[in-house]
Structure 1
Amino acid sequence: MANSIKLTSLSSKGGCGCKIGPADLSQVLRSLPPTVQNPNLLVGLDTSDDAGVYKLNDDTALVQTVDFFTPIVDDPYSFGQVAAANAISDVYAMGGTPITALNIVAFPISSLDKSILAEILRGAGDKLAEAGVALVGGHSIDDKEPKFGLAVTGTVHPDKVRTNTGAKPGDKLILTKPIGVGIYSTSIKNDLLNEEEVNRVTEVMTTLNKTASETMGAYDVHACTDVTGFGLLGHASEMAQGSNVEIQINAEQVPILPRVKELAESGAVPGGTKNNFDHVKDIVTFSETMDQIDKWILCDAVTSGGLFISVANEDADSLLTDLQGKGVEAEIIGEIVEGKNGQITVQ
C-alpha cells in the first residue's frame, strides 16, 4: 500500500519542495525588530549561515537547525531518508557533530494509509542511526499535504565553527555533490525519469555530508555552507557578500547530474530555481557562451546538496584527493579572488 501512492502528486507545489525564495524571505526578515543581543550567540540571524550556534562554555557550543518540506520522491522510505539527511546537513556545514533530532510531521492521517507515514519515519530513523543521531521526540499535525522534516541539535568547539563569511582571496572552492537535483525532482513529478535516474538522484540526496565535513576538519578551511534551496549561485552569493570577496566559478568543472539540460529544456525547471536566478542575476556575470538554461542550472534549487568549501589554495588538492578517496563526489569548481567584492563571475 505504501508504495502504491505517488507522493509527489500530493503536493500542490510539487517539484523540489523549495524554500521561500531568497528575495521574499529577505523582505520578511527586514520587517522584524532586532533580536535580543546575547554574547554567547556566536552565529545568529545577522548572517545567512546554515544554523545558529550558541556557546555553552569554552569547549562546547550548540548548533541548532530545522528543515522540512513536501515529498520530492515517491517512495516514502526514501523521502524520510532525504529529509533527515537534508536537515542534518546544516550541522555538518558548520563543522559540527549532530547529536539529537526531533521529527516534524504534517500528514493527512484520515486520507492516506498510516503505513506511508510509518515508512517515512522508518527512513528518517535509519538515516539518523547512520549519522549517530538520537531521536528524542517530535510533533505532528493533521494536514491536507504530507510534509516532513527535523529539528537537529549538534555540538561544535567554539573556535572551530565553520561559517560562510570567512573566505579569503586565493582560496579554492570545492563542491562535494552534483547539482541538478531540483530539475530531477520536478522530472520525477512529471514522470520524465527512468528508474536508474530516480535511484541516482535519491542516492545523491540521501548521502550524508558526514564524511565531507569530518574530512575538511583536518584542513585550512576558511568558509563553508551547504548547497540547498537557494541553489549553487544563491549560496555562493551569500559567501561572496558575507566574506566581502569575489567568487569565480568555472561552469565546466561544476558536477551536474546526467541529462539535466535535456530535462530543463523540456520544461522541468522548478519555480524556485527561476526565483533563485532572478535573485542573483544582478550580481553574477555569466560567460557569453551560456544560454538561459545553463544559468538556471547553476541556480537550481537543491535538496540535501553537497558542501561548498572555501579552502586555502595550498590545501585544496590534498583535500580534494582525500575527499575523493573516501568516495565523496567532490570537484574544485572555482576560486576566491580580490576584485568585485560581493560579486560572482561564471567562466
Structure 2
Amino acid sequence: MIGKISRDFFEENIINRIGAVRKEVVMPPKNGVDVGIVKIGNKFMAVTTDPLYIDTSFGFEKAAWFALHILLSDLYTSGIPAEYMSIDLNLPLKITDNEFKEIWDVINSECIKYNIEVVTGHTARYANTEFPMVGGVTLMGIGDQYITTQNAGVGDKIIMTKSCGLEASIILANTFPEYVRKNIGKEYFNSIIDKFYSMTCVNEEQLAIKYGIVNKVTSMHDATEGGLLNSIYEIGSASENGLIVDYDKIIIDSDIEKLCSLFHIDPLRSISEGTLLITVKNECADEFISILNKSGIHAAIIGEILEQSHGIKIKKAGNTELILPEKDQFWDAVGDGIKRGLK
C-alpha cells in the first residue's frame, strides 16, 4: 500500500506497542488524531511529527514552505501554536549548497514568522536517499488547554474550509503540467497552480484559537490522507460519535473537480492539505462561518455530530450511506501518470 499505513495495520502492529505507558501522556497515538498531548504541571504540550516532504516539482522555495505548513497545520489542530522544532535532514547527495540554502531560508523565515525556534536537529547528505522524503520534523507547543478530534460532541456543527481535493489537484498539476494544460485548458490549469499557498490550515486555525477553543471550537482536523471523507470518518471514530454530512453542501471547486475527473479520482477521497474540518458548538457555527468568510476563507457548514447509534453517514440524492475508510486515490493517480509517461 502506498502512502500511510492502514487503520488495521496501525491497530494490529503499533497502537498496543508504544513503549512504557506514562501517566502524563494524556493523548497517546490514535487514529484520526493529529497530535500527541503531554501534561506538564498545569500546562499541556502538543507534539506532532511528519516527514520533511520536499516536492521538487514545486521548486525548492515553494516545496520548503509546503513541507513546513504540513506540520504547522497538524499542530495547530490542538489549539496550541507551535513554539519549538526538532528537524532531521537526510539529504540526497545531488542536492547543491544553493538548493539547500533555498530550503533552509524558507524554513528559517517561516519559523520567525510563527515564533518557532529550532532547538535540535541533524543535517547530512547520504547515498540512496531521494526526494521528496528527505528527513523528518517534530513540532511542539505549550498551552493552557487543548482540543483533539476526541472532543467533538453531539450537536456540534461540522464546518469545512476551501475545497476538497485541493492538495491532490495541485500536486498533479505540478507533476504533469503538459498533460493537464492540454486536457483541461490553460485557464483551469493556471487556476489550480494559483491555489498553491492555500495548502495550509494555519490561517483558519489561528482564527479558531482566537475565537475560542473548547467552549466554542471543539475540534479541528485537516483533510489529508484519504481526503475529506476519511477525515470525516476519523472525527466520528475518534470522538466515538455518529455524524451526518450533506453531499450537496460539500465545497468542490469546479477547476479541482475537472482535474480530478481527468485523473479518474474522487476529490472527496483524495489528499487535501489546506482543507480544514472544524467542529463548533451549534450556537457558534454561523458566527464562526462569518469570521472565516470575512477573513477571505471560503467555508460552509456541511454536517452535524450525532449520537453514536446513528453511524457515520453521508446524505446524497435523498439517500444516506455509511462512510467507511478507504485508501487515498491520489497515489494511484500519480503512479499511473508516471507509468504512462505523462509530462
Which range, TM-score by smaller chain? Answer: 0.7 to 0.9
The 1:267–1:153 alpha-carbon spacing in structure 2 relative to 1, beyond 3 Å, is: same
User: TM-score scaled by structure 2?
Assistant: 0.78
CA contact (8 A) 2:174 2:193 kept: no
Q: CA deviation at 1:206?
A: 4.6
1:319 aligned to 2:288?
yes
List runs of 5+ in structure 2 lacking aligned partners. 317-343
Residue of structure 2 equivalent to 1:221: 217
Residue of structure 2 equivalent to 1:89: 73
Deviation readout 1:82-111 (Å, 9 max, x if unpaired)? 1111101122101112101123323223x2
* In 1, Cα distance between equivalents of 2:123 and 2:5: 22
1:299 aligned to 2:269?
yes
1:144 aligned to 2:129?
yes
SS in 2 for 1:169: coil
**1:31-110 alignment, distance < 5 Å:** 32-33=16-17, 35-46=19-30, 48-58=32-42, 60-68=43-51, 69-71=53-55, 73-109=57-93
* In 2, Cα distance between equivalents of 1:323 and 1:334: 17
CA contact (8 A) 2:191 2:255 kept: no
* In 2, Cα distance between equivalents of 1:252 and 1:76: 38
Residue of structure 1 equivalent to 2:330: none
Deviation readout 1:142-173 (Å, 9 max, x if unpaired)? 2431235521011121xx31111222222111
Q: CA deviation at 1:314?
A: 0.6
CA contact (8 A) 2:161 2:298 kept: yes
* Structure with greater contact order relative to length (CA < 8 Å, sep ≥ 6): 1
**1:1-347 alignment, distance < 5 Å:** 18-29=3-14, 32-33=16-17, 35-46=19-30, 48-58=32-42, 60-68=43-51, 69-71=53-55, 73-109=57-93, 111-141=94-124, 142=126, 143-146=128-131, 147-148=133-134, 149-157=136-144, 160-180=145-165, 181-191=167-177, 192=180, 196-206=190-200, 208-209=202-203, 210-217=205-212, 220-267=216-263, 269=265, 296-303=266-273, 305-338=274-307, 340-347=309-316
List runs of 5+ in structure 1 lacking aligned partners. 1-12, 270-295
SS in 2 for 1:234: helix
Task: Tell me the percent identity.
Answer: 21
Q: CA deviation at 1:207?
A: 5.9
Q: CA deviation at 1:268?
A: 6.1
* In 1, Cα distance between equivalents of 2:315 and 2:64: 35
SS in 2 for 1:85: helix
Q: CA deviation at 1:188?
A: 1.8
CA contact (8 A) 1:186 1:268 kept: no
CA contact (8 A) 1:79 1:123 kept: no
- Equivalent residue pairs, number: 299
CA contact (8 A) 1:22 1:230 kept: no
* In 2, Cα distance between equivalents of 1:114 and 1:144: 16
Q: CA deviation at 1:79?
A: 0.7
* In 2, Cα distance between equivalents of 1:259 and 1:118: 34
The 1:171–1:207 alpha-carbon spacing in structure 2 relative to 1, beyond 3 Å, is: closer
* In 2, Cα distance between equivalents of 1:72 and 1:312: 41
CA contact (8 A) 1:173 1:335 kept: yes
Deviation readout 1:297-327 (Å, 9 max, x if unpaired)? 1121123x23311111111001111122223
Cα RMSD after superposing both structures = 2.5
User: TM-score scaled by structure 1?
Assistant: 0.77
